[in-house]
Amino acid sequence: MTQEELDALMSGDIEDLESLTDDDINDDSVDEDAGFEDGDEKDVTSSKKEEDKPLGYSPETAHHWPLPATNENKMVHQLDDVTKESEEKASEIFDIIEGISNDLLEEEKRAEAVIEVLKSNIELFKTLNAKFPDVEAFKAQLEKNSAALDNTNEALETLQSSGNAIMDVMDIMQYQDIHRQKIERVINVMRALSNYMNSLFEGKIDDEKRVSSATHIVGDTHNELVSNEEIEALLSQFGS
């Protein structure tokens, strides 16, 4: 059935749907089926898939089109996952940093104990070297302990510097919590806007009770035909 026949039916020029000749319907079905064979079924399916894609869609322009509303692409789902995972990973990082910091403190204590021993040895060998200047062993041990003391002091300074760096890292990691709070604030704003929009567009009639929208309206530029099922459904809605 053409758009003109539908307009005539709605305006009352055609009193009964049965008054339409079968030839009109058969002609449409013949035209639709003409020239198609079993081998062309694949081409029809392919063209149907192409029609389902938005106008201008191509693999090169796919990044311009919004992603489907799946759990992997829903924005709030994504942000919730980000905040949850970032909090978990940050907690793991803090645990590792805390362990390293504790190890450094233990090494600092050991280095300080070694320094005390070296200082005691240096005082002893200074006394022995002063009383027995001709004994080369006392002089050599004094030099060795003095060099060991210098190296241990440098190692202790490195440990203390590393401990300070670890504290700086922990301070910087505090910003991760701030970033998480900012993301949560964005989530709350998005949810508030979503609830507001849902409330704003809320209707008194359930969607399943609404009259279906017209597929073809006078003035449409396309020439697609209306099926008999669509006409009967439309008439039954008007009759009810």
This prediction has a pTM of: 0.53
pLDDT along the chain (240 residues), means of 10: 60 52 47 48 52 61 68 81 89 92 94 95 93 91 95 95 92 86 91 91 81 66 64 68
Residue 3's pLDDT is: 61
Residue 54's pLDDT is: 57
Residue 128's pLDDT is: 92
Cα distance between residue 105 and residue 43, in whole Å: 74
Residue 33's pLDDT is: 47
- For 88-143, give the DSSP string: HHHHHHHHHHHHHHHHHHHHHHHHHHHHHHHHHHHHHHHHHHHH-TT-HHHHHHHH
CA 47 to chain centre: 33
- 3-state percent helix, strand, coil for the chain, nearest multiple of 5: 75, 0, 25
What are phi and psi for residue 68, nearest 5 degrees?
-65, 155
Residue 9's pLDDT is: 56
Residue 122's pLDDT is: 95
